[in-house]
Amino acid sequence: MGTKRVGLARVEALMENLKREISFGAGTKLVGARRAVESVTADTSLTAADCGKLYVFADAAAVLTLPDSGAGDLVGVWYEFYSNFQGTGQKVICSDTNNEDLIGALLQSDDDGDVASKVWNAAAGDGFDFINLASVATGKPGTRFRITNIAADVWSVEGLVIQSGGAEATPFGST
């Protein structure tokens, strides 16, 4: 073997050219991996590095702010939210409320049987930029939803909202 020396710049270039994805074939199992779960009790700004994390509202009020997706570099970033405490101000909001929109639907389940189940829709033209679980009418413990960035300034929403009280209302809103 020779004693050829390789400079740091060359090693860095070789490392940068490596593929950074893993393709799992049929029957492959990933074991020992756990999903990141964070219990929230205070206002928090989310980042792309938090992608895939489950945020559990463990207090009545906390505002979680999504990162600004206007540059288009967050496509595929997603977060999931679960209410584990009756909210008075549990909110997930877009950071750029002038340009970003939530689009999708939340299925509703009325656990006191006052109304038939329904779907709360957020269409492209509605301009919704937050989801607010402020009372039993907009969301109770057990409410769970996922928000995924699908394009610059567009977040897709899907999930289930558990409600009661006889005056159930959409948890979607705009500033």
Q: What is the pLDDT of residues 80-132, one digit of tens each?
A: 999 999 999 999 999 999 999 999 999 999 888 766 789 999 999 999 999 99
Q: What is the pLDDT of residue 63?
A: 98
| Neighbour order of strands in the sheet with 78-83 | 37-40, 54-57, 78-83, 144-151, 154-163, 101-110, 118-122
Residues 30-46: pLDDT tens digits?
Answer: 788 889 999 999 999 99
Residue 6 has pLDDT above 90, yes or no: no
Please compute the mean of the pLDDT values over residues 4-13 and round it to a whole number: 81
Please check whether residue 118 is in contact with residue 173, taking contact to mean a CB–CB distance below 8 angstroms: no
Tens-place pLDDT, residues 68-89: 999 999 999 999 999 999 999 9
